[in-house]
Structure 1
């Protein structure tokens, strides 16, 4: 039986651990019929090892989103790995990082260098990745989907990563505006907290678990990335042909509930 991504090829960033939303996005994309290409930075062996746990083999291409050389050559290196006539129908941005001094209640003392790193890696990279992949999208366009954490409020300990996520949300809207005429949609999935490797670097992560445990009307499981991954896969598909610049919340409903 065909799936909603049958015949499509999707590039997924950020697959480092089997617990990540990115991994489950790649898995579900394959189960829905897509061919998947993964990118990794610094620990390609780890990405390749995790990739072997997917239902089908997936090519792995190195990508550091802060390296202009990597970005400028990404399309060519994907073609080398997959085929000269390859095209991409979808791109998943699952990239975020903030130095430790930009998290954990140090907001007012954090220096610009750390702030700049958080914003470049976590927000500017959405635009950089979309433009690097654009040569692989023909006149049919495609779908860019990024992973977000609701940035409308100031969260304990999240500090400059919260600011970077707010920048990501704004960046997504501008990418949607400027690439829409080329048939490219850009949307975000604002997921609730998931206990991933990235989450372990956030001081006070248990605060988020407590908030979601008491306020999510649908309930929330911090160990289950699949609901967010399903939303990503849906946005990659043709079922949202005229949706762009949107933020889809997959958080058990917490974003809609007051104290």
Structure 2
């Protein structure tokens, strides 16, 4: 029996450890029949190359810094060394300096660090999409990762701001890509024990809250529900869904208390 991504070519940008949403997404995508490429850059690239061997089928690993225009300009050619196009792109990338932007530092966060966080975490969704457009055709899907930016979270501060920018970017991309038949959506995952989460001061406060308020329950170590939702959005099963934020949080976002 074939999977829902059978024959599709998917780039998952931002895979570091096997405890990342990007890794979990790459694994489920392969299990559902996709040919997968993954990327990272800098010191993390060596880690990604080692982690790639833990996937069901070892994928090509591309060097890609989404803030480096040379990398973006060369991405299409780098991808074409392995596949002749892309059907889907996953943006699983975010960064904010935890020393200056998180843990109650909203009022003191310096612009230089805020600008970096917005560049890496929000603007890069547009930049990555632009770089991949020459490889994509009608029916393609872009999926990014957010953490509900409709409210202010304890300790999240300027990363919450950056996620708000990401969510707005998603809507504008949906508007501009729609005429080409390309969708752009986000998955808003609940609290998960990823590498990024460990950088948030006081993250443990989320653990009790999710356990108490999510009506479906929530396992902070289980990345598969989130990964499966990303894969669903990459598939042909959401042909007329774009500009959307799909919550995968056990229902937490819908509860008042």
Under TM normalisation by the shorter chain, which class is it?
Answer: over 0.9
Partner of 2:109: 110
Shift of 1:141: 4.1
Partner of 2:74: 73
Distance between the aligned counterparts of 2:31 and 2:224, measured in 1? 13
Gaps of 5+ in 1: none
Shift of 1:8: 0.3
2:230 is the counterpart of 1:232? yes
Shift of 1:106: 0.7
Partner of 1:93: 91
Distance between the aligned counterparts of 1:93 and 1:60, measured in 2? 15
User: What secondary structure, in the 3-state scheme, does the structure 2 residue paired with 1:204 have?
Assistant: coil
Count of aligned pairs:
255
Q: Give CA deviations for 1:91-128 in whole Å, capped at 9, x if unaligned.
A: 00000000121100011011100110111100000000
Partner of 1:130: 129
Shift of 1:209: 1.0
Runs of 4+ in structure 1 deviating by more than 3 angstroms, as ranges, are none
TM-score (norm 2): 0.98
Q: Is contact 2:13–2:90 with CA below 8 Å preserved after alignment?
A: yes
User: What secondary structure, in the 3-state scheme, does the structure 2 residue paired with 1:107 have?
Assistant: coil
Partner of 2:53: 52
Gaps of 5+ in 2: none
Distance between the aligned counterparts of 1:234 and 1:6, measured in 2? 12
Distance between the aligned counterparts of 1:92 and 1:130, measured in 2? 10
Distance between the aligned counterparts of 1:141 and 1:113, measured in 2? 38
Q: 1:200 aligns with which of 198, 201, 207?
A: 198
TM-score (norm 1): 0.97
The correspondence of residues 161-172 of structure 1 with structure 2, limited to 5 A, is: 161-172=159-170
Distance between the aligned counterparts of 1:173 and 1:104, measured in 2? 29
Distance between the aligned counterparts of 1:114 and 1:38, measured in 2? 27
